[in-house]
Every structure is written in structure tokens, then in C-alpha cells.
Amino acid sequence: MNASDKSRTVEATVRVLNKNGLHARPSSVLAENALRYTDTAISIRRGDLEVDAKSIMELLLLEAHCGTELQLVASGPRAEEAVGELQALFEREFDIQL
């Protein structure tokens, strides 16, 4: 891994689409997927609040209801891949059938 890989940062705006918002179940799915990127720091911002995407408890602090816009931020060698995968999870409503 070279120095540019370590400092690579990728950002994307996502919207919470599922009607119940980012509650415990989707937060669990999101954190579980983020944890697969051990070499990449991943956070999610809502306004001034930024939380670790690998922590269910921190994700719940976002209080993200349906329609809320969030900013995904990843830094590391797999930042682009991580943001792409997590962005797709938001678009698929975390693969949760209600």
C-alpha cells in the first residue's frame, strides 16, 4: 500500500429511503457491512454530527428518519469500494423486507 492509498478519501451523499428510518435493524446491516473494510475508516455525517459507520450505537445517534440526507465519508485503500457498497445498501433500503 502506498501513501496515496492511505490518504484517499471518498464522499457521497445518500438519502434514507426506508419508511422507518435508520433504526436498529438497518444500522446493524450498515455496521456489519462497514466492518468488512478493516483497512478503511468509514464515517457518516448528519450536519455537524459525525459517527463511526462501524458502530451500531453511534449510527443510532444520527436519528435519521425517512428522507434524511447523510454524507458517507471513507478514507483508506478501499474507500471507493466501501462508499459504493454502502451507497447501494441505502438505495436497496438495507435489503430489509417490512
Active-site annotation, residues = 23
Surface-to-core class of residue 13, CB atoms within 10 Å of its CB (0-12 exposed, 13-18 middle, 19+ buried)? exposed
Surface-to-core class of residue 2, CB atoms within 10 Å of its CB (0-12 exposed, 13-18 middle, 19+ buried)? exposed
70 within 8 A of 38, measured Cβ to Cβ:
no
